[in-house]
Amino acid sequence: MSLLFSPVDLGPLRLSNRIVVEPMCQYSAEEGRATDWHAFHWPNLAQSGAGLAIIEATAVEPRGRISWADIGLWDDATEQAFANALAATRRHSAMPLGVQLAHAGRKASTHRPWDHHGAAIPPDDVHGWQTVSASATPYAEGGVPPIALDQAGIDDVVAAFVASARRAVRLGLDLIEIHAAHGYLLHQFLSPLSNQRDDAYGGSLENRMRLLLQVFDAVKAAVPATMALGVRISATDWVEGGWDLAQSIVLAKALEARGCHFIDVSSGGLHPAQRITAVPGYQVPFADAIKQEVAMPVIAVGLITEPQQAEDILQQGRADAVALARGILYDPRWPWHAAAALGADVAVAPQYLRSAPREHAARFVQAA
């Protein structure tokens, strides 16, 4: 029996299989509002056969967007647009859907990746704004320095995450993932490379973890017990003297003690000096190491592209679920093909049942 196609619980949320569609920015919003592109894209993800799809990094305030074209969930207009785009998905799929709540910090105010290679936009440009961070150190040398958040600014960030989480609950989403990876604001507070503060939020590991743990506690207190809540981290900066696996394990244990339902383990993104050799499954060892230290489910991601590779990761006890991002964009029916390869059942919409190859027809079962 395939472990990849067996159920798994992320806290109160049961997934029918252990394939997760990771958040993938679409850079297709208008003033933070979801558009027709999202109304097309989300239903497509929901027909993939995965156990869960997490909607792209969703900014908790306008200055927290990566680019001017990022989606947000910070006011009634962005909430209503989100609801409109979500409606078609919900009509035709019962797949659990989550949202990744995010703040880009000093990596905000950029072009879309296909425009000017995603370069930073200065605050005086029509599409730019002043960024904020843990310290006044820019991401790239020569960049516009961010403003170091003071206590009032930190309090506002926590409140923004809470307000967006409450909107996610109203939207009927099943899961919230707090984005503390890839060099964005919460990661900027975690890493000593970007956090040079000398107050209660800087210096020691305990202090650098403080903001993320405050955000987590505040969001958990604001959402119902039926809402699955987890965190995505970068397990290492891939830069000497930066955030690393040992610190990630301490953080994972602290999150678990607070009732975190899952941890999604990625890496990198904080510093341009990172050196990564991206080979198949290159981030799985980080997930594996964290899984040995916590009981909550661990999601592994990073060039997991083959069904047997995914199955082996789970069978070897290196993670509890596996996630795909670009692989799903390239092949939106990857879980169908994985089920065929592993001799497992996968639920598909009745309109698609007859698409199964004859030798695998029995493996396609009608989705609820």
Separate counts of helices (H) and strands (E) for the chain: 10, 14
Q: How far apart are CA 232 and CA 40, in angstroms?
A: 26
Extended beta strands in the chain, E state: 8-10, 13-15, 19-21, 52-59, 97-102, 132-133, 147-148, 175-180, 228-234, 262-266, 298-301, 321-324, 346-348, 364-366
CA dihedral 251, 253, 258, 259 (to 10 degrees): 120
Contacts of 133 (CB under 8 A, 6+ apart): 105, 106, 146, 147, 148, 149, 185, 188, 194
Q: In Å, how far are 135, 179, 216, 238 from 265, measured between CA atoms?
A: 25, 11, 16, 14
Residue in 184, 201, 330, 352 annotated catalytic: 184
**Has 184 been annotated as catalytic?**
yes
Question: For tokens 């072009």, what's the residue?
Answer: 111
Q: In Å, how far are 89, 250, 292, 348 from 257, measured between CA atoms?
A: 34, 11, 15, 37
CB-count exposure of residue 351 (10 Å: 0-12, 13-18, 19+): exposed
* Residue 307: CB atoms within 10 Å: 21
Provide the annotated active-site residues. 184
